[in-house]
C-alpha cells in the first residue's frame, strides 16, 4: 500500500498576509506525519504527529492560537479515528497543550467522548502535556477578543487523514471552536461521522467549517459514502459539500483519502489551506486556494 497523508488548516477566509503562514504550517504538519509513515509508523501515529504541529502553531484555530470563548478562555475539542472503527474524542477542555494526543490515548483505552473536567482528569491521569489555561491564549486572539474585533481568519477546525503501508486509514481533528462561542459549546470536531470518519474498506475524511451545519448532514460519513463505486475522492468531496449546501446554510470543507491512497478535497468557503504527500513526490504539495 502507498503511504499518503493530507492536512487542512481550516475552511475560512485567509487574508493575503496569512497565506505564507498557512502554507508553511500545513507543510510542516505533513512533513511530521510523512516522517512517521516512511519510517513504518501507523496512520494514527502520523495523524497525531501532524495534528500536534498544527496545534502548536498560532496560525491555526487549535491548541495555541485557538479562538476565545464568551468568557475569554480557550476551550478545545479533538478526535481521532482509525479505519478499524476505533475512535476517541475530547471536548470543552482547558489547559491541555495537545488534545489530539489525549484523544488518541482515549482511543487506545476504549472508544468514548470525554468532556470538560472529566476529559481534563483523564489527560492528567494519562500523563498528557498540561499547562495553565492562560498559556494557550495567543496575543493576537486576546487583543481581538478584548477589543471586540471581527475575526475573519480562524473560525474552523484543522485536520488530517493518513494511509499507512499496511493499508490502515486514520483521520483526526482539533479545534478551538468558534469565536466567542458560549462556554461549553461543542461542535462537529469531536463527533464521529460529522467531524471525521475512517473505514479501512472505503476511506478516511476530516471536515472543517460551521459545526452546526456539518452535524445535521453528518458530513464526514456522507463524504465517505460517496466514495462507493470507486468514485474519485475529489468527486466524492465535492458531492458531500454540494449535499451540505443543498440542505443547510453554512461553510464547510473536507479532505479525503480512499483505500487506494488517492486524495481529494472540496470546500465552499473563501479559502482552505491544504498540504499533502504521497509516494513519488519529491516535496510536500501545499496550497491556499480561493
Sheet order of strands, 203-209 included: 196-199, 203-209, 252-258, 263-267
Is 13 one of the catalytic residues? Answer: no
Catalytic residue among 4, 27, 51, 157, which? 157
Closest CA to 58 of 1, 140, 159: 140
Cα angle: 163, vertex 167, 168; to 5 degrees: 65
Residues in the chain: 290
Strands (E), 123-202: 158-163, 169-175, 196-199
C-alpha cell at 227: 466514495
CA distance 280 to 286: 15
Considering Cα of 61, then 62, then 63, then 68, what sign does the dihedral take? positive
CA distance 163 to 128: 25
Q: Which residues are catalytic?
A: 157
Amino acid at each position: 500500500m502507498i503511504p499518503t497523508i493530507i492536512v487542512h488548516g481550516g475552511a475560512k477566509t485567509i487574508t493575503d498576509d496569512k497565506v505564507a503562514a498557512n502554507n508553511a504550517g500545513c507543510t510542516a504538519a505533513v512533513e511530521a506525519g510523512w516522517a512517521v509513515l516512511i519510517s513504518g509508523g501507523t496512520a494514527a501515529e502520523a495523524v497525531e504527529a501532524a495534528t500536534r504541529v498544527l496545534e502548536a502553531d498560532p496560525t491555526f484555530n487549535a491548541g495555541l492560537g485557538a479562538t476565545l470563548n464568551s468568557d475569554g478562555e480557550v476551550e478545545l475539542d479533538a478526535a481521532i479515528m482509525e479505519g478499524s472503527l476505533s475512535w476517541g474524542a475530547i471536548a470543552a477542555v482547558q489547559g491541555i497543550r495537545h488534545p489530539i494526543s489525549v484523544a488518541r490515548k482515549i482511543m487506545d483505552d476504549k472508544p468514548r467522548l470525554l468532556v470538560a473536567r472529566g476529559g481534563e482528569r483523564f489527560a492528567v491521569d494519562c500523563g498528557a502535556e498540561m499547562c495553565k489555561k492562560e498559556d494557550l491564549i495567543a496575543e493576537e486572539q486576546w487583543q481581538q477578543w478584548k477589543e471586540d474585533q471581527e475575526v475573519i481568519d480562524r473560525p474552523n477546525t484543522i485536520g488530517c487523514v493518513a494511509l499507512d503501508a499496511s493499508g490502515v486509514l486514520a483521520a483526526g481533528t482539533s479545534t478551538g471552536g468558534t469565536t466567542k462561542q458560549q462556554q461549553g459549546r461543542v461542535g462537529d470536531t469531536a463527533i464521529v461521522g460529522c467531524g471525521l470518519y475512517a473505514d479501512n474498506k472505503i476511506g478516511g475524511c476530516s471536515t472543517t467549517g460551521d459545526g452546526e451545519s456539518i452535524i445535521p448532514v453528518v458530513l464526514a460519513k456522507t463524504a465517505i459514502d460517496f466514495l462507493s463505486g470507486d468514485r474519485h475522492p475529489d468527486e466524492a468531496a465535492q458531492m458531500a459539500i454540494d449535499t451540505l449546501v443543498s440542505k443547510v446554510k453554512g461553510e464547510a470543507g473536507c479532505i479525503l483519502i480512499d483505500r487506494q491512497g488517492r486524495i481529494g478535497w472540496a470546500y465552499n468557503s473563501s479559502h482552505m489551506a491544504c498540504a499533502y504527500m504521497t509516494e513519488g513526490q519529491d516535496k510536500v504539495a501545499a496550497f491556499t486556494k480561493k
